[in-house]
Chain A
Amino acid sequence: EVQLLESGGGLEQPGGSLRLSCAASGFTFRNFAMAWVRQAPGKGLEWVSAITGSADTTYYADSVKGRFSISRDNSKNTLSLQMDSLRADDTAVYYCTKGNIGYYFDYWGQGILVTVSS
């Protein structure tokens, strides 16, 4: 059974940093791209960032480019998102997702809330 478990969220001040992690199990982690998708309170879904299985290529939404950094550790089956220079509009539930061929998302974590507020 595929499981994705996010951790690391919480309350941070504008300009601060947070690091999200996602522990993956139930599939051969290194064989699949992974991504982060977020959802602001009461709003729709927004793709944030993606990384290939081998970690040789990363992708970012313009809204986070230069501030967020995605990475993975295939020896530990872990996906991470380093979020710097946080802004109020980064407030959202962040979902860890497993990518499939062409970057649709066949499995989602339960989500973790990030709140950016002073």
Chain B
Amino acid sequence: EIVMTQSPATLSLSPGERATLSCRASQSVSSNLAWYQQKPGQAPRLLIHRSSNRATGIPARFSGSGSGTEFTLTISSLQSEDFAVYFCQQYNNWPLTFGGGTKVEIK
């Protein structure tokens, strides 16, 4: 099983600041990585697939990069609605696995 490790667990930032979230795979997942955003009491929402492709309707301030074992989700300028938990997921191998999440909170 591929283990996905996200860091940091919590990121405390102010609106307007840049957020950089990391996701590391225990073995290569090529570019088969997705990012999701989850707000309290809501289902997750797809942000990014294939490492860097924004999903339909996702603002351009969200960007993804990386391949192999190291991936990054960047939010260029945090808006109030971006404070949430973010999960990465690999879909290169079975079983599909998620990272433990990074909570982006208001500083």
Residues of A within 8 A of B (CB): 35, 37, 44-47, 50, 59, 61-62, 95, 100, 102-111
Nearest-neighbour CB distance to chain A for B28, whole angstroms, equals 15
A109 engages B95 (CB within 8 Å): no
What are 15 sample pairs from A and B whose C-beta atoms fall under 8 A apart?
A: A37-B44, A44-B99, A44-B100, A45-B89, A45-B98, A47-B95, A59-B94, A62-B95, A95-B43, A102-B32, A102-B92, A104-B46, A104-B50, A105-B46, A106-B49
- The answer to whether B39 has its CB under 8 Å from any CB of chain A is no
Q: Does B87 contact A (CB under 8 A)?
A: yes
**Contact (A45, B95) CB under 8 Å given A100-B49, A104-B89, A105-B34:** no
Partner of A61, one of B92, B95, B99: B95
Query: Is B45 a contact partner of A108 (Cβ separation < 8 A)?
Result: yes
Are B96 and A47 in contact, with the CB atoms below 8 A? yes
Interface residue from A44, A62, A106 paired with B46 (Cβ < 8 Å): A106
CA distance A76 to B75 in the complex (A): 40
How far is it, in angstroms, between the C-alpha of A37 and the C-alpha of B45 when the chains are bound? 13
List residues of chain B with CB within 8 A of the CB of A37: 44
User: Who on chain B is nearest to A50 by CB?
Assistant: B96
By the criterion CB–CB under 8 Å, are B43 and A110 in contact? yes
- List the interface of chain B (C-beta within 8 A of A): 1, 32, 34, 36, 43-46, 49-50, 55-56, 87, 89, 91-92, 94-101
Task: Assess the A104–B95 pair: CB atoms within 8 A.
Answer: no
Q: Which residue of A46, A100, A106, A111 contacts B98 across the interface (Cβ within 8 Å)? A: A46
Collect the chain A residues with CB atoms within 8 Å of residue B43's CB.
95, 108-111
Most buried by A among B32, B34, B43: B43
**In the bound complex, what is the Cα–Cα distance between A87 and B2 (angstroms)?**
25
| CB-nearest residue of chain B to A98 | B46
- Give A15 to B34 CA distance when docked, in angstroms: 35
What distance in Å separates the Cβ of A94 from its nearest Cβ neighbour in chain B? 11
Given A45-B44, A105-B34, A106-B55: A59 touches B101 (CB 8 Å cut-off): no
